[in-house]
Amino acid sequence: MSKSLFALSAVVLLAGCTTSSQPPTSVPVPTLAVVTATPGPPPAPTPRAQQRYIVREGDTLSGIAAQFGVAEDAILDENPLSDPDRLLVGQELVIPPAAP
C-alpha cells in the first residue's frame, strides 16, 4: 500500500470517529420479582354441601358412589330406594358430601 493511500485511509478513518462530550447512556436492566412460597399449614378443607344427581342410563349405585367419593350406604341413607339394584333413568338422588 502506498504512503498516500495509507495516509488517506487514516484520515478517513479518523474523520469517521467523532468525539462526544456526553457520557454513554446505559440501557436499564429489567428486574424480575422473585416469589417464594411461604410455608404454613395447608388450607382447611371446606365442607361440601349435598348435591343432586339425575340417574342416567347405565348408572349403578356403586358407580355413582365412586363418582362422588361417597359410600353406597351414605347414598341409601339419604334416598328411600325400594330396591338399590334398580335405579330409574331420570330419578333424582341426593348425594351426601364426601367424608374428609
State how far the Cα of 67 lies from the Cα of 98, in Å rounded to an integer: 11
Write the pLDDT tens digit of every residue in 64-95. Answer: 999 999 999 999 999 988 888 899 999 999 99
Confidence of residue 17 (pLDDT cuts 50, 70, 90): low
Write the pLDDT tens digit of every residue in 22-52. Answer: 777 777 888 888 877 777 776 665 567 889 9
Between 90 and 8, the more confident residue is 90
pLDDT at 96 over 80: yes
Q: Say yes or no: domain 51-95 is CATH 3.30.300.20.
A: no
- The C-alpha cell that represents 5 in the structure block: 493511500
Residue spans of the domains in the chain: they are 51-95
